[in-house]
């Protein structure tokens, strides 16, 4: 189709997004994260907490619109904040304790709506609690060590480079669908680009920021490329199951905030685990 064809809006990318708006929003969000890490690294925890609250509301709204599922929003929001903030003084133990209390809170909170749909709604509430705040708490825990700002930067760089390279290589070279029933535009060529550039970013960031070995960075970058791709596919499955295009509409060119956190959430847990094993604080 010609570039000036009326069927294709000039501002849209091949992925169906307003690319200039998407780039602008991405740069603003990225700058806020980097500044928080370079100025006072614990500000990053506040950013994570705010993102968790917004994403939780978006996912709960999408579940209600798409399938009539009622997430126990109050305990999930309160418990999500507890998971993120308790990670600061208590680490993994604080996160686990807050998650358990959140699950119990969801089970009890749903009593007031009766029998109909109880198991469905509680299951969705527990899933939301694990998918968003539990995973995000690992991003908050990245900044706890003395070199925590650099650990968080390695995580962000790895995921952003992986996502960007995967998108670009998919648009330019994508021929073989990776998961056509889940995400038709995702290709094996795009994943290969994500993997290659993700590993390169991992090597450079771990070497220069954390003083690790090159093979530490290679493994770290490969793991993040895989987890980011899996996260993207997971959210695509959720949206297809619910019959929606985006989780929200607060970010021009992106959809909702949850639509930008899909690859970050599972990758936060993977980044924390990989750095814990490969580059101990």
Domain boundary among 105, 128, 144: 144
Query: For residue 12, is it within any domain?
Result: no
Query: For residue 21, is it within any domain?
Result: no
Query: For residue 2, is it within any domain?
Result: no
- Which 8-state DSSP code applies to residue 177? E
State the Cα–Cα distance between residues 280 and 237, nearest whole angstrom: 35
Query: For residue 9, is it within any domain?
Result: no
Residues 208 and 265 in one domain: yes
Across the chain, mean pLDDT equals 89
Query: For residue 267, is it within any domain?
Result: yes
Residues 36 and 68 in one domain: yes
Residues 54 and 132 in one domain: yes
pLDDT for the residue 12: 47
Residues 94 and 111 in one domain: yes
Query: For residue 275, is it within any domain?
Result: yes
Long-range contacts of 128-131 (CB under 8 A, 24+ apart): 128/56, 128/59, 128/60, 128/63, 128/71, 128/76, 129/76, 129/79, 129/80, 129/83, 129/99, 129/102, 129/103, 130/99, 131/59, 131/265
pLDDT per position as a tens digit, 83-104: 999 999 999 999 999 999 999 9
pLDDT per position as a tens digit, 123-161: 999 999 999 999 999 999 999 999 999 999 999 999 999
Q: Structural domain of residue 109, as residue ranges?
A: 28-144
Residues 95 and 138 in one domain: yes
- Confirm if 109 and 122 have CB atoms less than 8 A apart: no
Residues 91 and 171 in one domain: no
How would residue 56 be classed by pLDDT, with cut points 50, 70 and 90? very high
Residues 77 and 92 in one domain: yes
Asked if residue 255 has pLDDT above 70, the reply is: no
Residues 160 and 77 in one domain: no
Domain boundary among 144, 171, 193: 144
State whether the Cα torsion 249-250-251-257 is positive or negative: negative
- What is the average per-residue pLDDT within 182-204? 95
How would residue 6 be classed by pLDDT, with cut points 50, 70 and 90? very low
Residues 244 and 175 in one domain: yes
Q: What is the tally of structural domains in the chain?
A: 2
Residues 155 and 138 in one domain: no
- What is the average per-residue pLDDT within 150-173? 94
pLDDT for the residue 2: 43
pLDDT for the residue 189: 96
Query: For residue 259, is it within any domain?
Result: yes
Residues 268 and 157 in one domain: yes
Domain boundary among 109, 125, 144: 144
Please state, for a pLDDT cut of 70, what percent of the chain lies above it. Answer: 89
Query: For residue 219, is it within any domain?
Result: yes
Residues 140 and 180 in one domain: no
């Amino acid at each position: 189709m010609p570039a000036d064809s009326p069927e294709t809006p000039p501002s849209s990318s091949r992925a169906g997004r307003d690319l200039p708006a998407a780039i602008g929003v991405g740069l603003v969000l990225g700058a806020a994260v980097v500044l928080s890490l370079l100025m006072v690294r614990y500000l990053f925890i506040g950013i994570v907490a705010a993102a968790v609250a917004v994403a939780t509301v978006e996912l709960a709204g999408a579940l209600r619109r798409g399938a009539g599922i009622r997430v126990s929003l109050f305990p999930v929001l309160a418990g999500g904040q507890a998971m993120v903030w308790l990670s600061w003084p208590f680490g993994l133990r604080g996160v686990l304790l807050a998650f358990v209390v959140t699950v119990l809170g969801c089970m009890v909170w749903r009593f007031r709506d009766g029998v109909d749909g109880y198991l469905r709604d509680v299951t969705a509430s527990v899933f939301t609690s694990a998918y968003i705040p539990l995973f995000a708490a690992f991003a908050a825990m990245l900044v706890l060590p003395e070199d925590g700002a650099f650990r968080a930067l390695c995580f962000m760089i790895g995921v952003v480079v992986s996502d960007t390279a995967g998108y670009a290589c998919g648009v330019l070279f994508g021929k073989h669908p990776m998961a056509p029933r889940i995400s038709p535009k995702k290709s094996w060529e795009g994943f290969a680009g994500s993997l290659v550039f993700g590993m390169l970013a991992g090597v450079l960031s771990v070497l220069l920021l954390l003083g690790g070995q090159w093979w530490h960075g290679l493994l770290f970058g490969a793991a993040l490329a895989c987890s980011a791709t899996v996260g993207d596919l997971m959210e695509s499955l959720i949206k297809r199951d619910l019959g929606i295009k985006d989780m929200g509409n607060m970010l021009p060119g992106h959809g909702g905030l949850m639509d930008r956190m899909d690859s970050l959430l599972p990758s936060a847990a993977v980044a924390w685990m990989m750095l814990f094993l490969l580059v101990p604080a």
